[in-house]
Amino acid sequence: MPKGLPQPGDQGLDRTHTWARTYWGGALYCLIADVQIREKTKNRRGLQDALRAIARAAGGMSQEWSIARVLSVGDAATGTTVLTDLYVAMKDHPYAPDILMLWSDLGLQLGEGGMRFDETARLAAVRRAITRAPSAGRAGDAHVDADAVTNQSTIVVFRDG
């Protein structure tokens, strides 16, 4: 994720078109949005809820929408303004969140042999909600068997570069 952080001369996600800033910056936007939505809704909603609502309302990819409309539909689905607020913060400005603090808040601790989870961390419940397998009854959801990961004390960390 460090490749998604702004570099000198950065003008925000909408105006900095390097592959790393576009790809990793977008991933960072999604992670921060998911965490903030879950914080504000006490884990009742997440980014997936926003994305499902957008896909449903837009009829898949059959229509072209403005970014404002996309974010508005997603925000309505979560009962927040997270998507819009975060986009405004990141689109034209070098928004640099404190990634190390985010990892700590989520209870992610990198140590010898991999990542450990701190179940007492401020946002440990948010981390568990993000990594939990989808609920039954949501046909078509792709998922990773996150329970197999979250019930372990250590996971392997892959580093880029």
Instruction: Read off the pTM.
Output: 0.80
List pLDDT tens digits, range 89-103: 999 999 999 999 999
Residues 6 or more apart in contact with residue 110 via CB below 8 angstroms: 103, 116, 157
List pLDDT tens digits, range 61-90: 777 899 999 999 999 999 999 999 999 999
Cα gap 159→84, rounded to integer Å: 30
Judge whether 134 and 141 are in contact, CB under 8 Å.
yes
